[in-house]
Amino acid sequence: MNKQRFFEWFWLIIKYSFAAGLLALLIRGFLLFPVPVQGSSMADTVSQGDMVLVERLSSVKRFDVVVFNLPDGGTYVKRVIGLPGESVSYKNDQLYIDGKKINEPFLKDNIHDDEENIPYTYDFDFEELMGVKKLGKDSYFVIGDNRRLSKDSRSFGAVSEDEILGKAHFVYYPLKHMKFI
């Protein structure tokens, strides 16, 4: 290989490397970013120490798993149960949105038959819990999938749209936990 060909090849590699690095920075900064899971409030969906990929472009829907920051400085991973303008309540382990029964199929792996006499989600009335009849315009009601051990909207209140960093879509580490959420 002559010198001119070597330098052409070398600059081609430099250009592609720069373009790939720039693309990775754009994706990391604006589309996808990693978040470590802390705590057990989302077990068995995600576990303590899992790393999840979060995207920030799509709109939040019921039952999405979201990542958000609260003023206390904590970063939380929870499931969206109530959307803006809705009222949320639980009675006898059953979710009600605006008085209508809603199934939660993602909980089937969390509820164990040996715990039949203990409610998985303790009963609450939205108005008594939150002090208002419905969620605000940009507010979401979030709960962890591990209901008995979760610090969530039942304790810290609704989460505003501005506090939501994005939706968790994929567990990529550790490899044995790898899955789509």
Domains identified in the chain, total number = 2
What pLDDT shows up at residue 108? 72
Q: Residues near 157 by Cβ (< 8 Å), separated by ≥ 6?
A: 130
What pLDDT shows up at residue 109? 66
Among 33-37, 116-120, 160-164, name the one with the lowest average pLDDT: 116-120
Return the CATH number at 62. Answer: 2.10.109.10
Residues 18 and 52 in one domain: no
Residues 29 and 41 in one domain: no
Q: What is the pTM of this model?
A: 0.80
Residues 27 and 52 in one domain: no
Helices (H) and strands (E) in the chain, counts: 3, 11
What pLDDT shows up at residue 111? 64
Does residue 3 register a pLDDT over 90?
A: no
Residue 99 sits at φ, ψ, to 5 deg, of: 85, -5
The domain of 125 spans 37-180
Residues 20 and 89 in one domain: no
Strands (E), the chain: 32-36, 51-55, 65-69, 75-82, 88-91, 94-97, 100-102, 139-143, 159-160, 164-173, 179-180
Does residue 120 register a pLDDT over 60?
A: yes
Residues 121 and 170 in one domain: yes
Give the model confidence (pLDDT) of 66-105 as tens digits: 999 887 778 899 999 999 999 999 998 889 999 999 998 8
Neighbours of 35 (CB within 10 A): 18
Give the model confidence (pLDDT) of 30-56 as tens digits: 667 888 888 888 988 898 989 999 998
What is the chain's mean pLDDT, rounded? 86
Residues 114 and 44 in one domain: yes
Residues 23 and 74 in one domain: no
Q: How far apart are CA 49 and CA 76, in angstroms?
A: 13
Residues 93 and 172 in one domain: yes
Residues 10 and 88 in one domain: no
Q: Which residue has the higher pLDDT, 115 or 146?
A: 146
What pLDDT shows up at residue 35? 85
- With bands split at pLDDT 50, 70 and 90, how would you rate the model's confidence at 137? very high
Residues 156 and 71 in one domain: yes
Residue type, 48: Q
- With bands split at pLDDT 50, 70 and 90, how would you rate the model's confidence at 15? confident
Q: Which of the 8 DSSP states describes residue 46? A: S
Residues 43 and 27 in one domain: no
Which active-site residues does the annotation give?
41, 78
Q: How far apart are CA 89 and CA 121, in angstroms?
A: 10
What pLDDT shows up at residue 112? 58
What pLDDT shows up at residue 28? 65
Residues 122 and 173 in one domain: yes
